[in-house]
Chains A and B, each alone.
Chain A
Amino acid sequence: MKLSPPIRPSEAATTSGMDAPLPQARQRPKRSLLARLRPKGVLGWYVLLVLLPTAIVAGYYMTYAADMYEAEARILVRGRPGASGGGGAGGIASILGGSAGALRPGAEEAQAVTSFVDSLDAVAGLSRQFNLAEIWRRPEADRFSRLWYEEPEAERLLRYYRRRVTATFDLETSIVTLKVLAFRPEDARGIAEALLGLSEDLVNRFSARTSEDTLRVGREEVAIAERRVVEARAALTAFREREQTLDPTAAVGSAVQTIGRLEATLSAARTELQEKQAFMRRDNPQIQVLNNRIAALQAQIATERQRRTSGEETLTQQLSGYERLQLEREFAERVYSSAIGSMEAARADAQRQQVFLMRVVEPNMPERATFPKAMFNTITLLVALTVLFAIGWLIMAGAREHAS
């Protein structure tokens, strides 16, 4: 359409030379390259928009694309059966429990492992062992699929890393599948191996942390109870030393016995006095003796009573103090034994909550380059472009009908 102005002068030049039998025929070869490449008809457009891109992509895959090797490993994170998921994160798990089957023990940790593998932390961990930029910029790598930056920032490296390393978690089997792509088989395998090691560390850290938490409370309680027992015993010993008595209870018992014996003797004396008064005169010396004994006994009973029940150093006070200490000791001992029991239970619980990372499939050494999937990608592209082209053509054709 815009080709006509440049044609004019040449046309003039040629017509001046000859008598120009076929001007159109001579104009044709002079049209610019772009104009001659303009597709003609549906087929032309099809070649331009569908076949050409497909051919370019296919050519890239066939000649230029670097082979990539995939190493795969599978791990199973499991806890002992019967351990509760625990914590607030169990909210969703308990919902699922109804229909989809509860999360298995270890499922949460497995999800943690997948999200760890996908994280900057894992990249940092790998960077301590490998030079990741070098691994993904091997000389055999092609320009498009290799890492573009020689000294990538952490985020750029992470973005590339996410394209090359995938970890998927299967909810039903609790198996985490780890796939690593690299340009050399040993690189792929090495990275996979290192990632497994890092994940193992992570899971072990979880376990240690859990048992630490469970046991810490138990240990603290046992220590408190222990201190209490020791204190109670010490208090009791101090009391005994201070009061110069081994067992106030026994002392009270003996005091009661003494008084009882005195009272028995008193009543016997009184009976004897009554008996003798019946046939003896008042001033009989025997009655005098009896009277004296009764008086002495009464006085003795009174002093005994006095001594036991009132005053500074009374037995009742001793007794109540002693009983308090005794009770405290018993309590302390009981608390101690229950603390020991719960500590044992916590230890068993911690044992049950241990999670392990088990290697189901060790990272393999890839022998054959399985990536990129040249055939699949090319055919997919061809089909997709064809469908898009057809839709576009149908819409365009429909629109053109409106214009006529």
Chain B
Amino acid sequence: MSAATGGPGGLPKGLPDGMPAPRSQFEQTMEGLRVQGRVIHALLLRELQTRFGRGHLGFLWLFLEPLLLASAIGILKSLFSPGGTGAVPTFLFVVVGYAPYFAFRAIINRATTAFQANMTLMYHRQVRLLDIMVARNLLEMSAVTCVLLLVIASTSWLTSFAPHNLPTMMLALLLLFGFANGLALLIAAGAARWEVVDRIVPPMTYISLPFSGALFALHYLPRGWRELLLWNPQVHMHEMLRDGMFGDLIPAYYSTPYLLAWVLGLNLLGLAAVRAVRTRLEF
């Protein structure tokens, strides 16, 4: 606490003029947050540039990609099993389940290469590992949020099927993003430490799809399965999202405190892990 010892008036007068005044820790932190915000913003723009380039619809691909994928799966499903989910339109059911999962998978899968791909940026003193991750994750999150907004708005306009409880949906989405962010931090740090992580994470995301509850509602499962699956925090998120979307049309099973505990714990571990590996990567 350097601030406690000297105020603006109590500064020693003998110091040379050229030296910057020692700031209070609070000011320093605020200044740091401002810089970090600018860095993340810049990284976001850079990420857009490098991923999609200037031509060919450019960054529109960002939401076109999940939109097309989710819509394709939704249409296929609603063609093959019409009325399979009762009062809930199959297309909406699939899109609401799959689009967030798509974002989750994209965040996790891209996390493994996040540091390697941006190694050169590390020569800048103000770019830190966390900034890279946050910028990338924000990009995916905003893309999927846009897709969901688009799908929900258009369906509620066309079929007058409005979301049941929007705040619940928002909270679920935020928790999902927090979860993905924490896990991505952990995986990125792990990938920097052990190379195996790079190999096993993408298959794991495919294996975990059936257990994530993204494409089915727990309610249709037998009790034993349901209770087993409820250990998986992802299931809680998707159930919560569906609860916000469909309300009482499908009984939902989730516990917000459990989910919150996972999100907080993962983010703590992720932040700590990224901090732990920075000596290997930062200059």
Task: List the interface of chain A (C-beta within 8 A of B).
Answer: 1-5, 35, 38, 40-41, 91-92, 95-96, 98-101, 171-172, 384, 387-388, 390-391, 394-404
Residue of A nearest to B25 (CB): A400
Known: A384-B264, A394-B275. A399 touches B36 (CB 8 A): yes
Does the CB pair B39–A402 fall under 8 Å? yes
The one of A40, A95, A387, A401 in contact with B4, judged by C-beta atoms closer than 8 angstroms, is A40
Residue of A nearest to B8 (CB): A1
Q: Report chain B residues within 8 Å CB of A3.
A: 7
Known: A100-B221, A400-B32. A391 touches B268 (CB 8 A): yes
Q: Report chain B residues within 8 Å CB of A91.
A: 86-87
Does the CB pair A4–B7 fall under 8 Å? yes
Total A-B pairs, Cβ < 8 A: 85
Does the CB pair A4–B9 fall under 8 Å? yes
The one of A5, A92, A388 in contact with B86, judged by C-beta atoms closer than 8 angstroms, is A92
Known: A5-B9, A394-B272, A395-B271. A38 touches B28 (CB 8 A): no
Question: Is B126 part of the binding interface, using a Cβ–Cβ cutoff of 8 Å?
Answer: yes
Q: List 10 A-B residue pairs with CB atoms under 8 Å apart, sorted by A's residue number.
A: A1-B8, A4-B7, A4-B10, A35-B4, A96-B219, A98-B220, A100-B220, A391-B267, A398-B130, A402-B35
The one of A40, A95, A99, A402 in contact with B126, judged by C-beta atoms closer than 8 angstroms, is A402
Q: Report chain B residues within 8 Å CB of A35.
A: 4
Question: Is B31 part of the binding interface, using a Cβ–Cβ cutoff of 8 Å?
Answer: yes
Q: Report chain A residues within 8 Å CB of B196.
A: none
Does the CB pair B29–A396 fall under 8 Å? yes
Question: Is B33 part of the binding interface, using a Cβ–Cβ cutoff of 8 Å?
Answer: yes
Known: A91-B86, A398-B36. A403 touches B31 (CB 8 A): yes
Does the CB pair B1–A38 fall under 8 Å? yes
Q: Report chain B residues within 8 Å CB of A101.
A: 222
Does the CB pair A403–B29 fall under 8 Å? yes
Does the CB pair A401–B128 fall under 8 Å? yes
Does the CB pair A2–B7 fall under 8 Å? yes
Question: Is B69 part of the binding interface, using a Cβ–Cβ cutoff of 8 Å?
Answer: no
Task: List the interface of chain B (C-beta within 8 A of A).
Answer: 1, 3-4, 7-10, 24-25, 28-29, 31-33, 35-36, 39, 86-87, 126, 128, 130, 219-223, 251, 261, 264-265, 267-268, 271-272, 275
For residue B49, give the distance in angstroms from its CB to the closest CB of chain A: 22
Residue of B nearest to A4 (CB): B9
Known: A5-B9, A38-B4. A403 touches B28 (CB 8 A): yes
Residue of B nearest to A44 (CB): B1
The one of B1, B9, B32, B265 in contact with A399, judged by C-beta atoms closer than 8 angstroms, is B32
Residue of A nearest to B85 (CB): A95
The one of A95, A391, A398 in contact with B128, judged by C-beta atoms closer than 8 angstroms, is A398
For residue B108, give the distance in angstroms from its CB to the closest CB of chain A: 20
Does the CB pair A399–B29 fall under 8 Å? yes
What's the Cα separation between A397 and B3 when bound, in Å? 16
What's the Cα separation between A3 and B126 when bound, in Å? 34
What's the Cα separation between A92 and B85 when bound, in Å? 10
Does the CB pair A400–B28 fall under 8 Å? yes
For residue B244, give the distance in angstroms from its CB to the closest CB of chain A: 19
Residue of A nearest to B265 (CB): A387
What's the Cα separation between A348 and B216 when bound, in Å? 41
For residue B268, give the distance in angstroms from its CB to the closest CB of chain A: 5
Residue of B nearest to A101 (CB): B222
Does the CB pair B32–A394 fall under 8 Å? no
For residue A166, give the distance in angstroms from its CB to the closest CB of chain B: 15
Residue of A nearest to B127 (CB): A402
Residue of A nearest to B33 (CB): A399
What's the Cα separation between A91 and B248 when bound, in Å? 13
Residue of B nearest to A38 (CB): B4
Does the CB pair A403–B265 fall under 8 Å? no
Closest 3 CB pairs of A and B: A399-B32, A403-B32, A1-B7
What's the Cα separation between A349 and B87 when bound, in Å? 30
Does the CB pair B32–A40 fall under 8 Å? no
For residue B117, give the distance in angstroms from its CB to the closest CB of chain A: 20
What's the Cα separation between A404 and B32 when bound, in Å? 8
For residue B257, give the distance in angstroms from its CB to the closest CB of chain A: 9
What's the Cα separation between A396 and B7 when bound, in Å? 22
The one of B87, B222, B271 in contact with A100, judged by C-beta atoms closer than 8 angstroms, is B222
What's the Cα separation between A28 and B1 when bound, in Å? 15
For residue B160, give the distance in angstroms from its CB to the closest CB of chain A: 19
Known: A96-B220, A401-B128. A394 touches B36 (CB 8 A): no
For residue B124, give the distance in angstroms from its CB to the closest CB of chain A: 11
What's the Cα separation between A4 and B9 when bound, in Å? 7
Q: Report chain B residues within 8 Å CB of A391.
A: 264, 267-268, 271
